[in-house]
Each structure stands twice: as C-alpha cells, then as structure tokens.
Amino acid sequence: MDRLVHVVDDSEDVRRALLELLALHDLAGRGHAGGDDFLASVPSSARGCAVVDVRMPVMSGLELQQRMLEAGYTLPVVMVSAHGDVATAVRALKAGAMDFLQKPYGSDAIMAVIRKALDLDARRHAERLHSETILARLALLTDRERQILTLVTEGLYNKVIADRLGLSVSTVEADRNRLMKKLRAQSLYELVQIQALADAASRRQGRIHPT
C-alpha cells in the first residue's frame, strides 16, 4: 500500500504549496479540503501521515483527530495552525498528535517533521505485522498448550505445572517443547514477550467488545 502525505487544509493555496514541496522531495501527497473529505476518501488502514490544519470550517483539526482515533486510524498526525497557542498545542499533543507547527513554517521544518512522521508510520506498520504473525502462531496452540504457556511465563517449574494440571512432568515437557516450536521461540524470555503481546491484544479486544 502506498504511503501518502495527506494534507488536510481548507486553503487551496496551502494545499498546493505543500503538495509541490512534497513532490520536490520525491514524496507522494494528496490534498483534502476538510475533515469530511479526508474521512470519506481515506481508509483507516491507510499508510503515511496527515498534516492537518487546526482551524477549518465544518470540522476542526482537533475534531478530525478525534474522529480518526475513534475510527481506528494509525496515521501519525502533524497539526499546523496560523493561530497556534500553547493550549491548542497541548490539546493536540495530548490527543495523540505527533507534532504541532505554527504557520508560516519553513520548508526544512515541515519536511523534517513529515519525514519523522513517515518513519513513525513505518515502525508502527512493522510492529503490527510482527504482532499479527505472533498472534497467528498463538492460534495454532491447543487449549492445554495455552495453559502451559501461561503458567510457564508466570515462572512456574514443570513439576508445579504438572501438579496443577494433573499431568505427568514428561507430558508438560513435551507440550512445552511443542508450543515453543509452534511459536518459534528459543527461550523463556521470548515466551514472556509473546504472552505479554497476547495479553495486550486481549485487553484491546475487551475494550472493543466489552462483556
């Protein structure tokens, strides 16, 4: 999927100028006249970043940022404003904006922030792919292997796990070896990391689908 720099600004002149600057730096961009236009044309799975003006009619930049969070966008957001103040900048950053620049900004300044945002997007994408791979491997485990994984990562010895689950130590050892092969884990440390990732995914799922 192409990584685009989305320029969300109600000023056509501002959009055109920034898109031309991006082209000079061999970066692809797309202009949007407002938040509604952005939300209607850019999927939440989009890669890249968004440069968003704070003050726009119909939907402010801060409102767009909130709508993006609610819809599951992971694009890094850079807020810009000709009327920036400390309070607005703090609100934007607390809501998840990566940076805040005041207009007029220099070409070097905005390009440095955009490249930083694209680097952040690349790291997030790599982390998502890694998480998806690990979760797919976890799905291959049997219920008993999942139980053993949980107990192993709690620091319990095979003998204690065997007693708790009513199994022989040799069965626990065999299951432990099998689950490590399925997860492609080489050490207890890697198992702990995998379990932490699974726990985090479970918490996120719980927030999305509360019981």
- pLDDT band for position 206 (cuts 50, 70, 90): low
Q: In degrees rounded to 5, what are phi and psi of residue 7?
A: -105, 110
- pLDDT band for position 207 (cuts 50, 70, 90): low
Q: Determine the Cα–Cα distance for residues 104 and 102; give it in Å rounded to an integer.
A: 6
What is the sign of the dihedral through the CA atoms of 25, 74, 105 and 8? Answer: positive
| Domain ranges within the chain, ordered by starting residue | 3-125, 140-208
* Candidate from 45-59, 79-93, 116-130, 185-199 with smallest mean pLDDT: 79-93
Q: Determine the Cα–Cα distance for residues 67 and 1; give it in Å rounded to an integer.
A: 22
What residue type is assigned to position 91 of the chain? R
CATH annotation of 3-125: 3.40.50.2300
- In this predicted model, what pLDDT tens digit does every residue of 99-117 receive, in sequence order? 999 988 999 999 999 999 9
Closest CA to 132 of 47, 201, 182: 201
Residue 211 has pLDDT above 60, yes or no: no
CATH annotation of 140-208: 1.10.10.10
Span 50-58, average pLDDT: 94
Residues in the chain: 211
